[in-house]
Amino acid sequence: MAKLPALPKRFHTASVWALYWLGLCPALAAFYLGAAGRLPGNPVKEFEHLLGIWALRFLVATLAITPIRDLFGINWLRYRRALGLLAFYYVAMHFLAYFLLDQVLNMPAIIADISRRPFITIGMAGLVMLIPLALTSNNWSIRRLGSRWNQLHKLAYVIAAAGALHFAMSVKVVGLEQMTYLALVALLLGWRLVRKPYLKRKRQANPPHRHAKDAVA
C-alpha cells in the first residue's frame, strides 16, 4: 500500500500545537457568534450542541489512532494526547454551556437533571471519568504510573461509549447522525477485541516484507 509522505521530524512539535489551536477554532468561532447575537434561533442550545458534537468527534479521533496504525501503518501517536485533551476541553465546555448559559446556575434543576434523566447522568459520568485522564495526560504521569497508566486510560473506551449513547438518548428520534457515532464507536471498540490476533497473524504472514520496507524507508 502507498504510504503518505512522512512529516519531517522537525515539524512534529509544531504540528501538535497547530492541532490544539485548530481544534479549538470551532468553539471559539461559535462562542464569538453566540456572544455577538449572530447564532440564529436558540443560540445557547446551538452552542451546547456544537460543543457536544465536537467532543464526540475528538473522542472518536482519539480512539482511531491505534486502528489507523494497525491497519494502514500510519503512526499518528504524537497527536493522540492533543486529541484526547481536546475531547476533554469540549466536554468541559459543553457542561459549562449547560451549567452557565442554559440552566444559569439553577442548582436544583441541574441536580434534578443529573439524577433523574438517564442521558444526562450518562453524560455527566463521561465528564467525571475524563477528569483523571486529562490530569494524567502528561509525561510525568506516564512515568509515575507505569503500566497503571495504560489501565487507567482504558477508561477512554467507556467514555466514548457514554458519549455516543448520551447523544443518541438526548434526541427525540435517533437519526443517521446518532447512528453514525454509535457505529463508529462500536467499530473502534470492537477493533480492540480483534487487534491482537490480527497483528499476530499479520506478523506471521509477512515478516520479511515489512522489515525490508522499513529498511528502505
Q: How far is the CB of 90 from another protein (least distance, A)?
A: 17
Q: Is 26 in the site for another protein (CB under 8 A)?
A: no
Quick note: the x/- pattern for another protein over 137-176, rule CB under 8 A, is --------------------------------xxxxx-xx
Residue 121 CA, distance from chain mean position:
19
Stretch in the footprint of another protein (CB under 8 A) among 14-22, 29-37, 84-92, 192-200:
29-37
Stretch in the footprint of another protein (CB under 8 A) among 42-50, 86-94, 144-152, 181-189:
42-50
Of the candidates 98, 90, 165, which has an alpha carbon nearest to the alpha carbon of residue 134? 90
Stretch in the footprint of another protein (CB under 8 A) among 53-61, 70-78, 97-105, 149-157:
97-105
Residue from 15, 43, 68, 125 touching another protein (CB under 8 A): that is 43
Rounded to whole angstroms, the Cα distance separating 93 from 91 reads 5
Q: Is 89 in the site for another protein (CB under 8 A)?
A: no
Residue 185 is placed in which grid cell? Answer: 464507536
Residue from 26, 45, 99, 202 touching another protein (CB under 8 A): that is 45
Which residue, 66 or 170, is less far from another protein as judged by CB? 170
Which residue, 48 or 80, is less far from another protein as judged by CB? 48
- 8-state DSSP, 99: I
Site for another protein in 98-127 (CB under 8 A): 101-104, 106, 109, 112-113, 116-119
- 8-state DSSP, 200: H
Per DSSP, helices labelled H in the chain are 12-35, 43-72, 80-96, 107-116, 118-135, 139-145, 147-153, 155-170, 176-205, 207-216
Which residue, 116 or 143, is less far from another protein as judged by CB? 116
Q: How far is the CB of 203 from another protein (least distance, A)?
A: 40
Of the candidates 156, 182, 196, which has an alpha carbon nearest to the alpha carbon of residue 62? 156
Residue 48 and residue 87 in contact, taking contact as beta carbons nearer than 8 Å: no
Rounded to whole angstroms, the Cα distance separating 40 from 34 reads 9
